[in-house]
Chains A and B, each alone.
Chain A
Amino acid sequence: MFEILLDATVKAGTPILFATLGAIINERAGIINLGIEGLMLVGALAGFAGTYLSGSLLVGVVLAFCATFIAGSIHALITVQLRGNQIVSGLALTMFGVGITALFGKGMVGKTIVGFERVAIPGLSKIPIIGKAFFNQDLLVYFSFLLVFLIWFFFYRTRWGLAMRSVGQNPAAADTCGFSVSKYRFLAVTVGSGFVGIGGAYLSLASTPMWIENMTAGRGWIAVALVIFASWSSPRAMFGAYLFGGITAMQLRFQAMGTNVSAHVLQMLPYIFTIIVLVISTVRLQKGGNQQPEGLGLPYDREDRK
């Protein structure tokens, strides 16, 4: 039973994990992105359409990345180049994503594709309890593991990662050191958006291989919240995404097993969890353990005087 639960947890958590990782990259460079929900939809549609038209899942994933990369560059243009309000631009991006995918997705409704299948990793998938859940999944899940590591490695073990963090922390200082703030921020927003798009594509290519309008159903907003829970760290994002996926999976399975716990109590669990998370992160904040980039949400203008 525990094995099955863990397996469902990873499946439910993966789209949120991709989106959270993408959002972390954005925010590490100092740009708030509330367009995650819209970007996920763009990724879901692009991924599905790409796979449907080409017959290749890889093409779908690449297309999802490219489409959200382009959509994200709108946000980047407004917030980085034009120094517009990041909140407004992000919200507009979500509305844009919902609308444009509804418009262009019409032809894809009701179409079917063969989605991602499970690929067992020899050896690792035989580990008791966790083996099946973590190493008998589809390729995108393995990619998400890799991405968690790569993002951590990039930010904490490379010069460019350090530069990008400093751009988010103190853009003026980074500028003085000779790093181009706008270049780093533009890259963070576009590449981050691309990974958010893969999260959307996970829904339309792996979870439920189909396209339906608005199929992300609010997962983008969960990702926005998880960024704070994860205090801008990719390994913690993994923990948060699985915790959230796990609680949903658990309450559904309790119902399916026919436990006599009231469905209403079970459905409260995700919200109780949210409150607990808020309390924990607030306490951590007071202890000074908060990792929020100092320059988050502030447009940077070299000519500005502070």
Chain B
Amino acid sequence: MKGDNIKKFFIYFFLALGAIVMVFPFYWMISGALKTAAEYNSYPPVWVPSNWLNFDNFVRAFQKAPFQTYFLNSLLVTLCSVTLTGIVTILGAFAFSRLRFPGRELIFSFLLAFMMVPFEMMVITNYQTVTKMGIINTIPVLIVPFTTSIFYTYILKNFFDTIPDSLYYSARIDGASNWKYLWRIMVPIAKPSLVTIMLLNAISSWNSFLWTSMVINSDKYRTIPLGLFAFMTEGGSDPKLQLAASTVSVLPMIILFLFARKYIVNGVARGGLKG
């Protein structure tokens, strides 16, 4: 029993140590954002800001750059993207899982092959395409190219496949149309999978940078990561303000994670190895 206690101690000790390392950058970000100039510039570092309610840095960051605009843009892009991609994915996954049409298996195996092509390879052409479409440097350019996701469709199709055929037959015999069956039976049953997909989509949409940095060049359409990047290059060099801005930008995702940790973790665990 004594050996057990020592073992327990070491487990907790190392776990706690690791946890501190993992969380420290977040702590340093938030605490840095709350420090006064004197606190921030002192060395050795001041570990705890004297006033946890010192929001000066936030106020000044927001005065220097329109972070509220960036924030709203990000929110808009994320919500639209999650909704649109969600609908397109549900419809596509349903067709591939439930409906029969010629070439279904062939098309699906092509999709799996496309999945390994990195988005970075398509960036050049997509840039030309959105330019031609005239949506470059608008909000839709951040949403439209991502409405079709093979990966999410693949995950959802796999889940749809696990729903027994007999449910479909039952519903159809009772007179339900495909449409009714999809929304009244399949989607409610697939809710956990769907929520996971939407969360993963929201995270990647909120954090998207490479594409955004190419297709958005006016301040009023910048999203949070892009605004933050612009702020660090154009907005002056006060680290405290940058940290305040960073804090604002990661906060929504942290809150989302605290509420939906299980969905996100399960989703990654299930989808990760297949993707």
B is bound to A = no
Binding site for A on B (CB under 8 A): none
- Chain A residues at the B interface, C-beta cutoff of 8 Å: none
